[in-house]
Amino acid sequence: MAKIPVQFRLNGSDRAAFVDAPETLLNTLRRGLGDFSPKYGCGQGTCGVCTVLVDSEPQLSCLTLAVACEGRHVETAAGLADGPDLHPLQAAFMDHFAAQCGFCTPGMLTAARALLAKNPSPSRDEVIEAIAGNICRCTGYEPIVAAILAAASAPGQRRA
């Protein structure tokens, strides 16, 4: 099958890949472009560990075709930190012990980033709703919710 060229911005950089027509964005990010921050969990849209932003909207990259991202801006958890400076969400996750095994963490951070970009002062219920599609087997969710609320009130949260 002939490969299809696709180009998009990834965390602010122009990237290109040759993909198969049915190839998922998750596969392209991980295998083609070396961004392993979005995780492969269920592969069928139920766990949220593959969550990325496409034009600032959370998308499950395991259900998103890579070719559908032509010309768009894809953001992953790998693009959150500014060099050695953690994003306020990352710092808050550390401060609140919101990651245990860490497998859900990139998806949680990405979902939270989208929330804070639209709603800088979310309520607890709004945080819970924003991460409702992201499954965590370890934390019981409470530290994650606390971390997102803390990041929302952090001085640097505008970067969210």
Give the shortest CB-83-to-ligand FES separation in angstroms. Answer: 25
Which residues of this chain interact with ligand FES, rule CB under 6 A? 40-43, 45-50, 60, 62, 99-104, 136-139
62's tokens? 């395991």
Indicate the residue among 100 and 156 with the shorter CB distance to ligand FES.
Answer: 100
For residue 51, the minimal CB distance to ligand FES (Å) is 7
Sheet containing strand 57-60, strands side by side: 13-19, 4-10, 73-75, 51-54, 57-60
125 vs 116: CA distance, rounded Å = 13
Nearer to ligand FES, 50 or 152 (CB): 50
- Between residues 13 and 147, which has the closer beta carbon with respect to ligand FES? 147
**In the complex, least distance from residue 30 CB atom to ligand FES, rounded to whole angstroms:** 11
Smallest gap from residue 72 Cβ to ligand FES (A): 18
User: Is the sign of the CA dihedral 21, 27, 31, 37 positive or negative?
Assistant: positive
Least Cα distance to 80 among 119, 103, 121, 111 occurs for 111
Torsion over CA: 83, 64, 111, 136 (sign): negative
User: Which of 13/44 has CB closer to ligand FES?
Assistant: 44
